[in-house]
Amino acid sequence: MTERSNSLSEWLEARLPVISAFRREYVDFAMPRNLNYLWNFGAFATIALGLLILSGIFLALNYTPTVTEAFASIEMIDRQVSSGWLVRAIHMGGVSMLFASLYVHIGRGLYYGSYKAPRELLWLTGLGLLLLVMTTAFAGYILPWGQMSYWGATVVINALNSLPVIGKPLAAWLLGGEGLGNTALHRIYVLHFVTAFSIVGFVVLHVAALHVAGSNNPTGIEPAKPDDTVPFHPYYTTKDGLGLCLFLMVYAGLIFFAPDILTLADNYAQANPLVTPRDITPEWYFAPFYAILRAVPSKLGGLLLAAGSLGVLFAVPWLDASPVRSARYRPILRIALPILFLAFIALGAAGMHPPTGFWLWISRIAVTYWYLYFLILLPYLPRVEIPKPLPSSLQEPRG
């Protein structure tokens, strides 16, 4: 039996070398030996994405993309379809878990300089992946056709209309008419599906870029000796496995013990174009950008600021000219970067509150620091910052 199995594997390998390719890229692949648990969040995001796609296919089988039946079909999934409530909770919880993993993943990349050469393409594909996830999530947010879905979409459409030249044609193409209706909902449904599967392609591209450039590590230096690396399996498969157990425990706790925090109460009421909610509030993962959108009185200015807050991330590999990657060895950056993370959290909190008084000024201060950090601090710091000495090997203790 063993000889027959070996003959079959040799026959397949000679014609389609998938086994050796898998072993080379996912078993024997050399990884820095000093990675910490922040490197697990890429695996977390992949698992969350897989669960989102599987649960989304099930939901699509029972969803009707029309303004008269969309909300009722969601209610049917929750109340009548066998285990429908569970699949929908997995889908809703998966969005939050995916965004949380992506934000930590990007924050880790900023802190340890994972955007620097030779990993610029890895950084850019990761940001492209984030944009696709945001587009998919926003389209999916509209599909239940609840009050917050409808009015959230209205806010974004109005912001698009403020763009000169292309704004109104773009909004008209998306809507397919004068306002949100059957045509718009159907197009958003298709957009949700197309972008969801496009994400898978970007994940493949992102992983391919990772395997070409190799993984960064907390010290930010390249492995110099054979002992600086270990094979991906069993060292990081077991480490990822332990992290995934904890990740899935949090995921399950969110689904079974705190389902009400996955969406806003207003979204449990069917969309009514004649009744505007007192406060139009986005989901938490869009809240920082919603706060930026409202930070200035101008619709166009807010839209440009919100888009620019993401766009500036694409320029980070060229804005930061320091030869040192990791913030561990950059004393000023080690202070400035945590403040940036706090500014992002503050924007999220501001986006969940009305844009008046205290919260309006919090959002303005936070977005000012966001741009100050990327456009002034990051390019200027290499001129004045004196980095700490870098270790010569990944096996040296942290200094």
Class of domain 281-384: mainly alpha
Q: Which residue has the higher pLDDT, 2 or 100?
A: 100
What is the identity of the amino acid at 365? I
CATH for the stretch 17-273: 1.20.810.10
239 is an active site residue: yes
Q: Which residue has the higher pLDDT, 170 or 337?
A: 337
Per residue in 263-273, pLDDT tens?
A: 777 888 999 98
Residue pair 374/393 in contact by the 8 Å Cβ criterion: no
Exactly one of 91, 105, 116, 239 is catalytic; which is it?
239
Residue pair 264/150 in contact by the 8 Å Cβ criterion: no
Compute the distance between CA of residue 311 and CA of residue 387 in angstroms, rounded to an integer.
28
Exactly one of 55, 114, 149, 215 is catalytic; which is it?
215
> Is residue 2 very low, low, confident or very high in pLDDT (cuts 50, 70, 90)?
low
Which residues are 146's β-sheet partners?
270
Mean residue pLDDT of the chain comes to 92
Domain ranges of the chain: 17-273, 281-384
- The total of other beta-carbon atoms located within 10 Å of residue 162's CB is 16
pLDDT at 5: 67
pLDDT at 1: 56
Tokens of 177: 């008419």
In 3D, which of 288, 28, 270 has the Cα closest to residue 145? 270
Per residue in 234-257, pLDDT tens?
A: 999 999 999 999 999 999 999 998
Exactly one of 73, 105, 206, 283 is catalytic; which is it?
283
Q: Alpha carbon of 181 to those of 68, 146, 162, 280: distances in Å?
A: 10, 13, 21, 20
192 is an active site residue: no
Tokens of 35: 């990675």
Exactly one of 211, 233, 353, 385 is catalytic; which is it?
211
211 is an active site residue: yes
Query: Average pLDDT of 52-72?
Result: 95
